[in-house]
Amino acid sequence: MENKKLRIAFCTDLYLPQLSGIADSISLLTQNLKKNGHTIRIYAPDRPGAKPEEEVMRLNSWEIPKSQGDLAFVIPVGVTKDMRDFNPDLIHVHTFSTVGLVALYARWELGVPLVGTDHTFPADYMHYFKLDYEPFKNGSRRFAAWFYNHCAQVTAPSKSMIQELKDYGLTAPTNVISNIIPTDIFRPLPGKPSLKKKLGIEGKGVLIFGRVAKEKNLDFALEVFAEAAKKEALTFVVLGHGPYEEELKTKAESMKVKSKFLGALKGEKLVEAVNACDVYLITSTSDTQSMTTLQSMACELPVVGAKAGGLPEYIIDNETGFIVEPTDKNTYVDKILKLVRDEKLSKALGEAGRKKAMEFSPESITAKFEEVYRKALANKK
């Protein structure tokens, strides 16, 4: 079992080319499992701009209104038949909605173990369905726990996510495993002044990085920035896109703050944009880990983040950045100003942040998932 090369079916309602930490994490894990000799088959939505890939079965889907392509209703027709032909050793499900439910059925029909990864707090997305009320949020949490109780092994990128599932009834075996952070790609670059000039960033850049969505608490981030910008020359840099992008841009303009919306960059342009900034700010209370936080840390940006979700497990206060109570606007402002004014402190926290991000290398995280697969196969549920 130790060295057996596995056939693994990945099931997900989110995948490339969607801008999503979930999509990125699945893609990175796929690449590294294949590098280790495993065979992967992915069942994912067909989205605009999706390129044909031999290992991916694309499923008909319809965009959820006002999500700008980030979320979709998926019609998973033909998955079980295709999976039967693929003949997997196990199924790894990354979302518990439509494709996930088909995975649950396929696991029973094929008699193979199911591994589940919970990537996000489900209640934070109920507003897309106009169900942003506590009874519906609690219902989504209970449903998630019920779903993952059908798995032989469950993983999540933070202890807080595992604990929430347990609070709502999860009893399956659990494992905290980070997403992969490719620190060979996300790395510090020289020439910050020239990168700033290239991108039009004036003064110090305060970075907002990732999916631009309502649940990321971006109005509050903008308010924090506006207060800090009254005391120092700062630019509000938004790197990414999403359903809240235009509204955020309009609010930044109305507040008359310097802002730069760079869109969704890729490859070296993305890494350059991160390196052109000076502080990474995350006020989100919905992140289970935040890959963009760790990617920024890998580029040696000090972080100012919310004491919420999985963030305190990765942002070490006074070591890799600062952790702030989620609604404490004044402390957010103070910490940003402290970093932009103290270059020595900023450098020390940035270097410690990269060291922390290095713990989540492709080799290390892939090996942890392989161990989870071995446990699932040894104790089929």
Instruction: For residue 289, tell me if it sits in a domain.
Output: yes
Q: What's the pLDDT at 48?
A: 75
87-98 pLDDT per residue, tens: 999 999 999 878
Sign (positive or negative) of CA dihedral 90, 94, 99, 101: positive
Asked if 254 and 301 sit in the same domain, the reply is yes
Asked if 247 and 282 sit in the same domain, the reply is yes
Of the chain, the percentage scoring pLDDT greater than 70 comes to: 92
Instruction: For residue 323, tell me if it sits in a domain.
Output: yes
pLDDT band at 66 (very low <50, low <70, confident <90, very high): low
Calpha distance 309→105 (Å, rounded): 31
pLDDT band at 70 (very low <50, low <70, confident <90, very high): low
Asked if 290 and 370 sit in the same domain, the reply is no
Asked if 353 and 372 sit in the same domain, the reply is no
What domain range includes position 346?
Answer: 192-359
Assess whether pLDDT exceeds 90 at residue 381.
Answer: no
Element holding 155 (H helix, E strand): strand 153-156
Assess whether pLDDT exceeds 60 at residue 256.
Answer: yes
Instruction: For residue 185, tell me if it sits in a domain.
Output: no
Asked if 368 and 349 sit in the same domain, the reply is no
* Contact present, 292 and 259 (Cβ < 8 Å): no
Q: What's the pLDDT at 67?
A: 47
Asked if 203 and 88 sit in the same domain, the reply is no
Q: What's the pLDDT at 64?
A: 59
Asked if 48 and 94 sit in the same domain, the reply is yes
- The SS3 call for residue 54 is coil
Asked if 163 and 276 sit in the same domain, the reply is no
Q: What is the CATH number of the domain that holds 116?
A: 3.40.50.2000
For 267-271, what is the mean pLDDT? 97
Assess whether pLDDT exceeds 70 at residue 47.
Answer: yes
Greater model confidence, 301 or 135: 301
Q: What's the pLDDT at 127?
A: 46
148-166 pLDDT per residue, tens: 999 999 999 999 889 999 9
Asked if 154 and 201 sit in the same domain, the reply is no
Asked if 160 and 228 sit in the same domain, the reply is no
Asked if 80 and 227 sit in the same domain, the reply is no
Q: What's the pLDDT at 2?
A: 65
Number of structural domains, the chain? 2
Asked if 216 and 325 sit in the same domain, the reply is yes
359-371 pLDDT per residue, tens: 999 999 999 999 9
Q: How many CA atoms lie within 13 A of 299 on its CB side?
A: 26
